[in-house]
Structure 1
Amino acid sequence: MYHTWMRYFTPGPVHHRLGLVCLGVGLQHGALPTVGPRTLDHHVAVVIGAGRGWYRTPDGERTEIIAPALIWLVPGVPHHYGPDPGGWDESFVDFTGSATATYTELGYIETERTVVPLSDTAGPRAAVGRIARAARRGNPLLEVETAAAVHELLVALRRARADTNPAGDPVLTALARDAFLPLSVAEHAARNRMTPAELRAAVRRGAGCSPKDYLLSLRLGRAKELLAATELPVAAVARRVGYEDPAYFSRLFTRRVGTAPIRFRRQQGRAVPGGWSDRVPHPEHPPTIPTAST
C-alpha cells in the first residue's frame, strides 16, 4: 500500500517570463510503484526523506539510494528508479524555465550526479510545503507563489547537500575574511595553502563563479555600503575595499555597476544629519531595529 497526493499546473506565457515556473508538486509515501524507464522534457527534484531504494542509469548501472537524498531528473535523460520493498517517503517538484540554465551553471542543479546525498531534508521539505499550500484551488497567486518557492527550493537543496559544511565553506569563508585586503588571486591561494588552480576549482564548486568574480562581488557590495552611508572620499572607499588605485576602482565600479561611484552616491546616499546612526555597521553585525512595545 502507498499514499499519494499531487497537483499539476499549466502556467501561461506571461508566467514563463519569470524564468522559472512550477509544473507540479507531490507528496508520497509507502511502497510506491517503480518510475520509468521514461524521459521528461522538464526538471524534477525528488526528495527522499526516509527509506531506501535504487536508481538505474540508461546503461544499466545501479545506484543505491539511502535517505536523506535527492534525485535529479533532467530533460532528455532517461531515468528509472524506485523504493525497496519497504517503501520510502518522497516529495517531488516539477519545474522548468530559462533560469534552469543559470542554476545549472552555478551548480545548484547537478547534471553529473543524479543521486545526491543530503544532510537533512527540513529546508527542502519546507519549500515543498509552501508549494503544496499555494496549490489550493482558486488561489489567484498560484503561479507566482509556486515559482518563488521553486527558487527557494533550489537554494535549500544546495544548502542541504551532505558535502556542504553547515558552518559554511571554509575556502569561501577565508576569502570573505580577506576580501578587502589588496591581494591577488594567487596571493589568496597561497594564504589558503592552495595552488591558484585548486582555489579556482574550490570557489567554482562552492559559489559557481571564479575567485576574481567572488571577490569582486564582495568588494563592490561593501563599496556601495560605504558610498551610500558615509561621506568618505571615493579614494578612501577604494582603499577600504582593497584597491590602492582609485581611478582603477572607479573604472571597475562603473563597468560592473553601470554607474560611476559619485553618481551612485548621489542616487543612494543616506548620510542625512540627524540620522539614528553615524557609522556603517559591520556587515556581520547589523543594527537592531527598535520595535514599538506592545
Structure 2
Amino acid sequence: MVGDADPRHPWIRGTHPLDYRAEVVSSWAQYAAPTPLLRDHGLVCLGAGEQSDARTGFSNRRLDSHALVFVSSGAGEYHDRRVGRRTVSSPAVIRVPPGRLHGYGPAPDGWTEHWLLFDGVTVRALLDLGAFDTRRPVAQLRQMPAEVPEFFAELRGVLESARRSARVTASALCLRLIALAAEVEIHDEDADRVADRVIAALREHAADRIEIAERARRLGLSPATLRAVVHEATGRSPHEFIVTTRIERAQDLLVRTELPVGAIGAAVGYDDPAFFSRLFARKAGVPPTEFRAQHTRRPPSP
C-alpha cells in the first residue's frame, strides 16, 4: 500500500522514501518534568501524546495538572460527578482541571485523540478569559484545526530535546493549541449574536458619557444581563470593557495624530486631562506623553 491512503484514516499516507510527510501516524506519549520557572511565572507543558484508533480510556482518574484532549475522529463518552455523562463526538475537545475525578474513552469503534498536560499561573488568565472553560468539559468544534497534528509533531520533538529553549517552545505550542481549541469551539448561536451586537454597540459608543444602566436600557437589556453577556464574551465587566476600549483608542490617537493629550482624553470620554493622564498611565503602564514618544515613528536625524 505504498503511497496509498489508509481507508480507515484518509489523511494518513503510506511510506515513501522521498516523502517525509508519508510516515504513518503512530501512537506516542512524551512527558516532561516540571520547569519551576515556567510553572511559577507562565505555563509549563508537562506532556503530550497521540492515540490513533484508540480503543481504551480512563475511569476514576484524578490529575495533578490540566488536560486538553482533541478528538479528531470517532466518538465516545466523558463523565464526572459534576456534569454526569457527556457524549463526545468528533471533532471535539475535552478539558479537565486538576483534582477532578473523571473518566473518558472511545466507543467500541475507537477514536483518534491528541492530548496535552500543562500547568502554571497563566492558566488562571486562560480560565478568566474563557480560553479554557472547565465548566464545559466537552466542547464541540466547528472543525478540527488543521494545525493540530503539525503542532503535536513539533511538540513531540521539543519534549524529547534536552535544550533549555525547548521548554519555552513547548510552552508556546501549548498556548497555541489551547487558543486553537477556543477559536473553533461551537457556542450557542443566539447567545453569540446577542454578544456580538452588545460588544459592537459598546465599542461604537464607548466615548459617550452615560451610565451602564442607560447603556443597558438602550440595548434592551437589564444591567444584570448586560454584565453577564459582556463578561461571558470578554471576561470583563461592561465598565472595564469600556475603559479598555477608550484607552486603546487613546493609544491609537497618540501615535497617529499630534492632538494635545487633553484633547485626546476628551475625544475618548474624559473631560479632566489630569484624571485621563493618571488613568492612562495606570492602564498602559506609562503616561500618555511617554507612550507617544515611545511609539511615534519619526524620520532619522540628518
TM-score for both structures, normalised by structure 2: 0.80
> Hey, what does 1:253 align to over in structure 2?
280
1:186 deviates by 2.6
1:130 deviates by 4.2
* Structure with the higher fraction of residues in helix conformation: 2
Q: Residue 108 of structure 1 aligns to a residue in which SS?
A: coil
Q: Residue 46 of structure 1 aligns to a residue in which SS?
A: strand
> Hey, what does 2:175 align to over in structure 1?
151
> Hey, what does 2:32 align to over in structure 1?
9
1:39 deviates by 0.6
> Hey, what does 1:38 align to over in structure 2?
61
CA offsets, 1:105-163, max 9 Å, x none?
22222232221222222167265454235345455532000101222222222211100
1:199 deviates by 1.3
> Hey, what does 2:110 align to over in structure 1?
87
Q: How does 1:36-185 map to 2 (within 5 A)?
A: 36-58=59-81, 61-122=84-145, 125=148, 127-138=151-162, 140-163=164-187, 169-185=196-212
Which one-letter code corresponds to 1:272 in the other structure?
R
User: Contact 1:238 / 1:246 at 8 angstroms: preserved in 2?
Assistant: yes
Give the Cα–Cα distance (whole angstroms) in 2 for the partners of residues 7 and 137 of structure 1: 11
Give the Cα–Cα distance (whole angstroms) in 2 for the partners of residues 127 and 181 of structure 1: 44
> Hey, what does 2:256 align to over in structure 1?
229
Which one-letter code corresponds to 2:183 in the other structure?
R
> Hey, what does 2:231 align to over in structure 1?
204
Structure 1 residues 41 and 11: CA distance shift in structure 2, 3 A: closer
Structure 2 segments unaligned to the other structure (5+ residues): 1-7, 9-24
User: Contact 2:54 / 2:112 at 8 angstroms: preserved in 1?
Assistant: no
Which one-letter code corresponds to 2:185 in the other structure?
R
Q: Residue 259 of structure 1 aligns to a residue in which SS?
A: coil
> Hey, what does 2:4 align to over in structure 1?
none
RMSD after superposition: 2.9
Structure 1 residues 269 and 235: CA distance shift in structure 2, 3 A: same
Which one-letter code corresponds to 2:231 in the other structure?
R
Using the aligned pairs only, state the percent identity. Answer: 34
Q: 2:214 aligns with which of 181, 187, 197?
A: 187
Structure 1 residues 270 and 23: CA distance shift in structure 2, 3 A: same
User: Contact 1:45 / 1:70 at 8 angstroms: preserved in 2?
Assistant: yes
> Hey, what does 2:21 align to over in structure 1?
none
Give the Cα–Cα distance (whole angstroms) in 2 for the partners of residues 130 and 193 of structure 1: 49
CA offsets, 1:220-267, max 9 Å, x none?
11212222332101121112222233333223223333433234334x
User: Contact 1:183 / 1:242 at 8 angstroms: preserved in 2?
Assistant: no
Which one-letter code corresponds to 1:176 in the other structure?
R
1:99 deviates by 1.5
Structure 1 segments unaligned to the other structure (5+ residues): 276-294
Structure 1 residues 105 and 59: CA distance shift in structure 2, 3 A: closer
Which one-letter code corresponds to 1:48 in the other structure?
V
CA offsets, 1:32-88, max 9 Å, x none?
212122111000001111211011223793221111211111111111111101111
Give the Cα–Cα distance (whole angstroms) in 1 for the partners of residues 154 and 168 of structure 2: 12
More displaced stretch, 245-254 vs 195-204:
245-254
